[in-house]
């Protein structure tokens, strides 16, 4: 059965899912890359960068599982790039080069219309201006029975949490304190949202928390 899920979403111990002041030099915000030090060394990350090598173990197994059975993604505009306001042109096509790591349709939430962008490797970026419900409806259709993965960022994840449509949520808690950034937990009553912690798994470089909707 198709699920709406969040997988390998990295957070700090103090609950930030991204650092502050995102820009071209800091795609994840200042110090945001520290949240992914569990993921970057893994064999799975290396493979998605068309590189060899990388570590194996619990973190790698979890990283690999996060990409399994995904038929479509949803991203917030900040995850797609640092461009704000109306699109000035069609030059920006994401952070990932000509072959993004998704390999399926990706629906980008935005207030400004833009034509789809087909990329190498099976990824096509679609830009949805009608809101989170429309993006999810389109993603479900495109996924053809596979899962829809909510990729972030924090604001997008919080919107879908409030909407009560996320079935499974995997948080990778990295052993770092950011002190500032985009808070994931603030002003959300997670039990009232119907979420419960199913299991906790210790990886080599992160603690993995699995939640599901009752």
pLDDT at residue number 84: 87
Q: What is the pLDDT of residue 172?
A: 98
Report the SS3 class of residue 168.
strand
Q: What is the pLDDT of residue 62?
A: 97
Query: Across the strands, what pairs with 10?
Result: 172
Segments of the chain scoring below 70 in pLDDT: none
Q: What is the C-alpha separation between 194 and 198, in angstroms, rounded?
A: 12
- Distance (Å, rounded) from C-alpha 8 to C-alpha 15? 15
Identify the burial level of 27 via C-beta atoms within 10 angstroms of its C-beta, where 0-12 means exposed, 13-18 middle and 19 or more buried.
Answer: middle
Domains and CATH numbers, the chain: 4-213 (3.40.430.10)
The predicted structure's pLDDT at residue 142 = 97
DSSP-derived secondary structure for 38-100: TTTTBHHHHHHTT----B-SHHHHHHHHHTTTEEEEEEEHHHH-S--SS---S----SSTTS-
**What gap in Å lies between CA 172 and CA 206, rounded to an integer?**
6
> Do residues 158 and 188 make contact, with C-beta atoms less than 8 angstroms apart?
yes
Contact 61, 204 (CB under 8 A): no
Per-residue model confidence (pLDDT) at position 75: 98
**DSSP-assigned beta bridge partners for residue 202:** 207
Predicted local distance difference test score (pLDDT) of residue 214:
83
């Amino acid at each position: 059965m198709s699920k709406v899920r969040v997988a390998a979403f990295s957070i700090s111990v103090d609950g930030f899912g991204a650092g502050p002041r995102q820009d071209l030099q800091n795609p994840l915000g200042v110090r945001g890359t520290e949240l992914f030090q569990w993921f970057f060394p893994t064999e799975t990350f290396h493979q998605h960068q068309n590189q060899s090598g990388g570590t194996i173990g619990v973190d790698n197994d979890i990283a690999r599982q996060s990409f399994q059975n995904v038929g479509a993604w949803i991203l917030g505009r900040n995850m797609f790039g640092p461009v704000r306001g109306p699109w000035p042109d069609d030059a920006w096509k994401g952070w990932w080069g000509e072959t993004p790591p998704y390999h399926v349709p990706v629906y980008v939430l935005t207030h400004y219309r833009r034509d789809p962008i087909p990329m190498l490797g099976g990824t096509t970026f679609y830009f949805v201006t009608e809101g989170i419900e429309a993006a999810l409806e389109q993603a479900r259709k495109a996924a053809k029975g596979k899962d829809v993965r909510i990729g972030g960022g924090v604001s997008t994840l919080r919107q879908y949490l409030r909407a009560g449509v996320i079935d499974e949520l995997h948080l990778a808690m990295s052993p770092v304190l950011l002190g500032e950034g985009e808070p994931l937990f603030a002003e959300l009553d997670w039990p009232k949202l119907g979420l419960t912690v199913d299991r906790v798994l210790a990886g080599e470089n992160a603690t993995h928390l699995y939640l599901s909707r009752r």
